[in-house]
Amino acid sequence: MVFQTGETLRLGIIGLGNRGFGQLRVLTDMPDVAISGVCDSYADRVDKARSLVQEKCGTTPMGTQDYHQLLARDDIDAVVVMTGWTSHIEIAVAALHAGKAVALEVGGAASLDECWQLVRAQQRTGLPCMMLENCCYGKVEMQVLNMVKKGLFGELIHCQGGYHHDLRKEVGNGDIDRHYRQQNFIHRNGELYPTHELGPICKLLNVNRGNRMLRLSAMASKARGMQLWMQKHRAGEAIADTRFNLGDVVTTMIQCAQGETIVLTHDCTLPRPYSRGGLVQGTQGIWMEDNASVFISGLSPENPAHWSPEIWEPFANYDDPYGHPLWKAYQQYGLRGGHDGMDYLVLRAFIESVQQGTPTPIDVYDTAAWMAVTCLSEQSIAAGGMPVEVPDFTDGRWIDRGPALPGVYALDDVYDRLF
Amino acid sequence: MVFQTGETLRLGIIGLGNRGFGQLRVLTDMPDVAISGVCDSYADRVDKARSLVQEKCGTTPMGTQDYHQLLARDDIDAVVVMTGWTSHIEIAVAALHAGKAVALEVGGAASLDECWQLVRAQQRTGLPCMMLENCCYGKVEMQVLNMVKKGLFGELIHCQGGYHHDLRKEVGNGDIDRHYRQQNFIHRNGELYPTHELGPICKLLNVNRGNRMLRLSAMASKARGMQLWMQKHRAGEAIADTRFNLGDVVTTMIQCAQGETIVLTHDCTLPRPYSRGGLVQGTQGIWMEDNASVFISGLSPENPAHWSPEIWEPFANYDDPYGHPLWKAYQQYGLRGGHDGMDYLVLRAFIESVQQGTPTPIDVYDTAAWMAVTCLSEQSIAAGGMPVEVPDFTDGRWIDRGPALPGVYALDDVYDRLF
Across the interface, whether the CB atoms of A217 and B385 are under 8 A apart is answered yes
pLDDT reported for residue A307: 84
Distance of residue A243 Cα from the nearest chain B Cα, in angstroms:
15
φ/ψ (deg, to 5) at B159: -135, 150
Per-residue model confidence (pLDDT) at position A1? 39
Q: How much is the pLDDT for A173?
A: 96
Instruction: Quote the pLDDT of residue A402.
Output: 82
d(CA B381, CA B190): 7
Q: Nearest C-alpha of chain B: how many angstroms from A89?
A: 29
Q: What is the DSSP string of B201-228?
A: HHHHTTBTTTB-EEEEEEEE----HHHH
In whole angstroms, give the CA distance from residue B237 to residue A347.
Answer: 55
Task: For A223-261, write each residue's pLDDT tens digit.
Answer: 999 999 999 999 999 999 999 999 999 999 999 999 999
Q: Which of B20, B168, B181, B34 is nearest to B103 (CA)?
A: B20
The residue-averaged pLDDT of A69-90 equals: 97
- Per residue of chain B (419 residues), what is the pLDDT tens digit? 355 566 899 999 999 999 999 999 999 999 999 999 999 999 999 999 999 999 999 999 999 999 999 999 999 999 999 999 999 999 999 999 999 999 999 999 999 999 999 999 999 999 999 999 999 999 999 999 999 999 999 999 999 999 999 999 999 999 999 989 999 999 999 999 999 999 999 999 999 999 999 999 999 999 999 999 999 999 999 999 999 999 999 999 999 999 999 999 999 999 999 999 999 999 999 999 999 999 999 999 999 988 889 999 999 999 999 999 999 999 999 999 888 899 999 999 999 999 989 999 999 999 999 999 999 999 999 999 999 999 999 999 999 998 777 677 888 765 665 55
| Distance of alpha carbon A382 from alpha carbon A405, whole angstroms | 40
SS3 readout for chain A: CCCCCCCCEEEEEECCCHHHHHHHHHHHCCCCEEEEEEECCCHHHHHHHHHHHHHHHCCCCEEECCHHHHHCCCCCCEEEECCCHHHHHHHHHHHHHCCCEEEECCCCCCCHHHHHHHHHHHHHHCCCEEECCHHHHCHHHHHHHHHHHCCCCCCEEEEEEEEECCCHHHHHCHHHHCCHHHHHHHHCCCCCCCHHHHHHHHHHCCECCCECEEEEEEEECCCCHHHHHHHHHCCCCHHHHCCCCCCCEEEEEEEECCCCEEEEEEECCCCCCCECCCEEEECCEEEECCCCEEEECCCCCECCCCCCCECCEEHHHHHHHHCCHHHHHHHHHCCCCCHHHHHHHHHHHHHHHHHHCCCCCCCHHHHHHHHHHHHHHHHHHHCCCCCEECCCCCCCHHHCCCCCCCCCCCCCCCHHHHC
Please say whether the beta carbons of A1 and A418 come within 8 A. Answer: yes
Q: How far apart are CA A19 and CA A45, in angstroms?
A: 12
Across the beta sheet with B9-14, the strand order is B62-64, B33-39, B9-14, B78-81, B101-104, B129-131
Q: At B354, which helix (H) or strand (E)?
A: helix B342-356
- Three-state DSSP at B83 gives coil
Q: How much of chain A exceeds pLDDT 70, in percent?
A: 96
What 3-state DSSP class applies to B155? coil
pLDDT reported for residue B410? 84
Give pLDDT tens digits for A379-401: 999 999 999 999 999 999 999 99
CATH 1.25.40.10 fits B136-418, yes or no: no
**Dihedral sign, CA of A165, A167, A168, A169?**
positive
Strand A33-39 and strand B62-64: pairing? unpaired
Give the single-character DSSP code of B196.
H
Question: Pick the residue with more confidence: A402 or A219?
Answer: A219
Note the pLDDT of residue A3.
56
Record: fold of B9-133: Rossmann fold (3.40.50)
How far apart (Å, rounded) are the C-alpha atoms in residues A5 and A352? 8
Contact, B102 vs B127, CB < 8 A? yes
Residues in CB range of B242: below 8 A, 6 or more apart: B186, B226, B227, B230
- The CA distance from A132 to A114, in Å, is 18
Residues 6+ apart with CB under 8 A from B289: B140, B275, B276, B277, B278, B279
Instruction: Name the DSSP letter for residue B366.
Output: H
Residues of B in contact with A281 (CB under 8 A): 248-249, 267, 270, 272
Is residue B144 helix, strand or coil? helix
Q: What Rg, from alpha-carbon coordinates, does chain A have?
A: 21
Q: Do B285 and A271 touch (CB under 8 A)?
A: yes
Nearest to B221 among A158, A221, A310 (CB): A158
Give the pLDDT confidence score for residue A417 in this predicted structure. Answer: 54
Which residues of chain B neighbour A205 with C-beta distances below 8 Å? none
**φ/ψ bin of A32: left (φ > 0), alpha (ψ from -120 to 50), beta (otherwise):** alpha
Which residue in chain A is spatially nearest to B301 when comparing CA positions?
A: A273
CB contact under 8 A, A157 and B249: yes
Minimal CA–CA distance to B250: which of B200, B180, B202, B193? B193
Average pLDDT, chain A: 95
Nearest-Cα distance to chain A for B288, in Å, is: 9
pLDDT score at B28: 97
Mean predicted confidence (pLDDT) in A127-142: 97
- pTM, full prediction: 0.97
Task: Output the CA–CA distances (angstroms, integers) from residue A228 to A164, A232, A233, B203, B408, in the order listed.
Answer: 18, 6, 9, 25, 35
CA distance A200 to chain B (A): 19
CB–CB contact B217 A221 (8 Å): no
- Is B308 within 8 Å of A158 when comparing Cβ atoms? no
Q: Do B248 and A158 touch (CB under 8 A)?
A: yes
Contact A288 B283 (CB under 8 A): no
Q: What is the DSSP letter of B32?
A: T
Closest CA to A283 of B365, B230, B18: B230
Q: What is residue B363's predicted lDDT score, i.e. its pLDDT?
A: 97
What is the rounded distance in angstroms from the CA atom of residue B329 to the CA atom of residue B334?
9
pLDDT band at residue A419 under the 50/70/90 scheme: low
Domain borders along chain A are: 9-133, 136-418
Residue of A nearest to B299 (CA): A271
Could you report the predicted ipTM of this complex, rounded to two decimals? Answer: 0.96
Q: Distance between CA B96 and CA B85 in Å, rounded?
A: 18
- pLDDT digits 0-9 by tens, A142-187: 999 999 999 999 999 999 999 999 999 999 999 999 989 999 999 9
Q: What is the pLDDT at residue B7?
A: 85
Which residues neighbour A150 within 8 Å (Cβ) at sequence distance 6 or greater?
A: A322
What confidence score (pLDDT) does residue B125 get? Answer: 98
Could you tell me the pLDDT band of residue A2, with boundaries at 50, 70 and 90? low
CA distance A262 to B359: 41
Q: In what order do the strands lie in the sheet with B261-267?
A: B313-314, B293-296, B285-288, B279-282, B156-164, B261-267, B249-256, B213-220, B388-389
Among the partner-chain residues A158, A215, A224, the one whose CB lies closest to the CB of B157 is: A224
The minimum CA-CA distance between A271 and chain B, rounded to whole Å, is: 6
Q: What's the gap between Cα B340 and its chain centre? A: 15
Report CB contact under 8 Å: A271, B251. Answer: no
Search chain A and give the residue with CA nearest B164: A308
Torsion of CA A261, A265, A266, A267, to 10 degrees: 180
Alpha helices, DSSP H only, in B72-111? 88-97
Hey, of A170, A221, A291, A376, which one would you mutate to test binding to chain B, going by the most B CBs within 10 A of its CB? A221
CB-CB under 8 Å, A284 with B271: yes
Average pLDDT for A98-103: 98
Q: Which amino acid is at B65?
A: Q
Nearest CB among A267, A272, A311 relative to B310 is that of A272
Res A106: pLDDT: 97
A360, A350 in Cβ contact below 8 A? yes
Going by DSSP bridges, is the β-strand pair B279-282/B156-164 parallel, antiparallel, or unpaired?
antiparallel
Put the strands of the sheet holding A313-314 in their side by side order. A313-314, A293-296, A285-288, A279-282, A156-164, A261-267, A249-256, A213-220, A388-389
Q: How many CA atoms lie within 13 A of A148 on its CB side?
A: 27
Average of per-residue pLDDT across A316-321: 97
Tell me: pLDDT of A85 over 50: yes
> In chain A, which residues have their Cβ closer than 8 Å to the Cβ of B261?
219-221, 247, 249, 251
CA of B166: which chain A residue's CA is closest? A308
Contact (CB, 8 A) for B68 and B75: no
